[in-house]
Amino acid sequence: LSGETKAIDFVSRLCEAGTTGEARKAALNQALASLDSEYAARFSDLAIRKKELHETKYKYENLSDLAESLGHLQESIDDNRRQLKHSETSLTSTGNVLEYDAAKTRSHKLIQIITARIQYDRAKEALKDSDGEEPAKRLAYIVDLQNAHETLQTHLSTPASNSELEELKDGFLAWQGAALVFAIQQADYSKLHEIQKIYQSLARQDEFTGIFRRVCSTRLKDLDLSNIDSIQNLLSTLYREVEYILDHYLTVIRRFKDEKEASAILEKAVTEGLENLDLSAPLSSMVGEHEDPIALCASISTSFNDYNERILKDEGKAKFVELIGIIKDKALKSIEVPIRSSFTNIALNKLNGLELKGASHRQHVENLNTFLTETIQLLEDIIVQSTNLFGEQKAANAYKHAIERFLDNFSTKLKSWEYYKSSSGQMRSVDDIFMVCSSSGHIVHALQEMKRIAENDSYKLNLKPFTRFNTQCCDRILKRGAESVVERMKESVQSIKREETDDTHTRSLPLFSISPHEYMTNAAQDLLHLFHKFEQFFLDDNFINAFHVALKKKMEGDEILKSIIADISARVVAEFIETVGDVNTLRHSHAKQFLVDTTFLKDALFDLRYDNLEELTKQEEKLKKIVDDK
């Protein structure tokens, strides 16, 4: 059985010989093996000839002849396969027919691979010799290379490297990139279509789209903002530039992409351009030069809101909303640090103007009240405008530094203020201290209101230094009030105790005939006068607030006043008992006088609704026993 012997004739001879089926099958298998050997020999010869062809300058022509011979061989194999398949009803040779099918497939694949390799090498050689030729011819060669490479990629189990082909594409398209950029900028549709076909033929459509994106992105990234004199003008410039890109370039790119894809490409380009645009330097400079950062925040916020509102009214500009948000976020991120610094400066400058040391105590307190009203309004304006501009969650980053620095320095200034002493070192009057206590209530109330609008879930203010100052003021006025009552009383008691002789007149009189000493009647009058003064103080809401905070209890005004009376009364009682000292050492006349004074003070305090009289009662009983014994 050979290429010249018909399969049907061979089978007929086997049948005429009268052999058995098994014998015929064996003979047929032998014939098929012979055919496989011939096929293998032909392919071996092909490999040898292919190697020789690579070594001669006629390799392409000889390979073509070889491909043609291989085609003839394929035709011969196909003819024999058809004959065998026609006879398969009389022979059990299905497996052999399938092997021939596989052989045909392999030979066809080999022909495609060889043809593609020939095409690749020819195109490569032609491209090397194409310097100076028209770009269209060079493009044709590169396209041939690409087609041949795709065929090889399809049939080879280990794909060939395409780095060489991609470098050739890059080199060719490098000349097209500048032309494409210019065509995009000029909206030259004819040129754009021409270039687009080139990129498409080289399977670089994504790169064609990418250049569109880079042109738009670069236009924004390289935007010159050096000559813009205000933040509002800078934002307007950015808005106009984004509108131009989305309007002009969208018109261009829609020639090659549908509306949705074109918009997505441009929005991504604008986003990249804005992200790479440096706004920090110009915005920092503008914020630093502005005289009123609070008004600046309000103006910027108004600009954002007005532009956003204008866009929302125009359905055709709905695509701008997200991009305007990007501009806003970038601008806010750039101005956050300089705004924070400006806020801190104006708060500390305001504080530096507060003077609490000098001759006029009343003037200092009035200045403190005026300062507090103005400064709290300033800080609240900072908080409100920061919140309007940066939003509730991020606003604290802009204003908290200013507030904290102000509070730290303000508390330090209050702590060093010896408001209870005059310039000569003498203790000030209750009225003088009352003014400070009222101011303290004003301070705490104002700061608590500011705290209410400044705090959020992530930011808390610490007002403890001011509540401590307030408590000290309240304690100071109570102490000073008690001192004003007992100062003369203590001197008189000590003077009586220093007397070396017993007063025989007092000693001989019965208790009911002895009047309270003048120091005690004066003390009772001073105490009553002091309580009336506190009643007048309670007409001041700030004073009441100071004690509300100091007492840390929810109490009505009358309850607070009662608490103050009790506190001062307790201080007076303690001072009186301490000054009298050990009653057992007193002379008889002195004990009798102090007994009368103690009873008088006890009655006076009871009339003033002070009911904690246990200590006075104990002293009264001790003195009464001493008087009775003596």
Residue 440 has pLDDT above 80, yes or no: yes
Q: Of residues 357 and 532, which shows the higher confidence score?
A: 532
Q: Which amino acid does the sequence have at 23? A: A
Confidence band of 435 (pLDDT split at 50, 70, 90): very high
Query: Any idea what the Cα angle at residue 323 is, between residues 318 and 326, rounded to 5°?
Result: 145
pLDDT digits (tens, 9 = 90+) for 448-488: 999 999 988 788 999 999 999 999 999 999 999 999 999 88
pLDDT at 439: 95
Q: Which amino acid does the sequence have at 138? A: R
**pLDDT, average across residues 71-86:** 70
Residue 324 has pLDDT above 90, yes or no: no
Q: Of residues 244 and 180, which shows the higher confidence score?
A: 244
Residue 573 has pLDDT above 80, yes or no: yes
**pLDDT, average across residues 412-439:** 90
pLDDT at 218: 81
pTM over 0.85: no
In contact, 575 and 482? CB cutoff 8 Å: yes
**pLDDT, average across residues 540-551:** 91
Query: Any idea what the Cα angle at residue 412 is, between residues 411 and 416, rounded to 5°?
Result: 115
Distance (Å, whole) CA 164 – CA 142? 11
Residue 227 has pLDDT above 60, yes or no: yes
pLDDT digits (tens, 9 = 90+) for 84-98: 666 655 545 455 556
Backbone phi, psi, residue 459, to 5°:
-135, 130
Confidence band of 170 (pLDDT split at 50, 70, 90): low
Which of 283-287, 326-330, 489-493 has the highest mean predicted lDDT (pLDDT)?
Answer: 489-493
Distance (Å, whole) CA 366 – CA 230? 40
**pLDDT, average across residues 324-348:** 90
H/E element, 588: helix 588-607
pLDDT at 412: 94
**pLDDT, average across residues 175-204:** 69
pLDDT at 285: 84
H/E element, 58: none
Residue 132 has pLDDT above 60, yes or no: no
**Cβ count near 37 (within 10 Å):** 10
Q: How far is CA 134 from CA 172, 192, 204, 577, in A?
A: 12, 19, 21, 120
Residue 211 has pLDDT above 70, yes or no: yes
pLDDT at 318: 64
Q: How far is CA 494 from CA 516, 580, 581, 599, 620, in A?
A: 16, 8, 10, 19, 18
Confidence band of 397 (pLDDT split at 50, 70, 90): very high
pLDDT at 546: 93
Which of 6-15, 120-129, 435-444 has the highest mean predicted lDDT (pLDDT)?
Answer: 435-444
Residue 517 — left, alpha, or beta (φ > 0 → left; ψ -120 to 50 → alpha)? beta
- Pick the range with the lowest mean pLDDT from 94-98, 462-466, 591-595, 624-628: 94-98
Q: How many CA atoms lie within 13 A of 214 on its CB side?
A: 11
From the list 574, 569, 597, the residue with the least C-alpha distance to 497 is 597
Distance (Å, whole) CA 162 – CA 172? 15
From the list 461, 294, 464, the residue with the least C-alpha distance to 386 is 294
Tokens 């204003």 belong to residue: 399
Backbone phi, psi, residue 46, to 5°:
-60, -40
Q: Of residues 178 and 172, which shows the higher confidence score?
A: 178
Residue 402 has pLDDT above 90, yes or no: yes
Length of the chain: 630
Which of 15-24, 31-40, 299-308 has the highest mean predicted lDDT (pLDDT)?
Answer: 299-308
Confidence band of 102 (pLDDT split at 50, 70, 90): low
- Pick the range with the lowest mean pLDDT from 13-17, 440-444, 540-544: 13-17
pLDDT at 138: 63
Residue 160 has pLDDT above 60, yes or no: no
Q: Of residues 239 and 161, which shows the higher confidence score?
A: 239
**pLDDT, average across residues 58-76:** 64
pLDDT at 191: 72
**pLDDT, average across residues 380-402:** 92
Q: How far is CA 514 from CA 58, 283, 487, 585, 593, in A?
A: 152, 86, 23, 21, 7
The token pair at 174 is 């490098």
Q: How far is CA 502 from CA 141, 511, 514, 586, 588, in A?
A: 138, 16, 15, 10, 7
Residue 411 has pLDDT above 60, yes or no: yes
In contact, 594 and 554? CB cutoff 8 Å: no
Confidence band of 289 (pLDDT split at 50, 70, 90): confident
Which of 320-324, 327-331, 362-366 has the highest mean predicted lDDT (pLDDT)?
Answer: 362-366
From the list 627, 600, 623, 628, the residue with the least C-alpha distance to 613 is 600
**pLDDT, average across residues 287-311:** 87
- Pick the range with the lowest mean pLDDT from 156-170, 360-374, 440-454, 564-578: 156-170
Buried residues in 222-260 as b, exposed as e (16+ CB within 10 A) = ebeeeebeebeebbeebbebbeebbeebbebbeebbeee
The token pair at 248 is 């002009």
Q: How far is CA 161 from CA 154, 165, 201, 286, in A?
A: 13, 9, 20, 55
Average per-residue pLDDT for the chain = 79
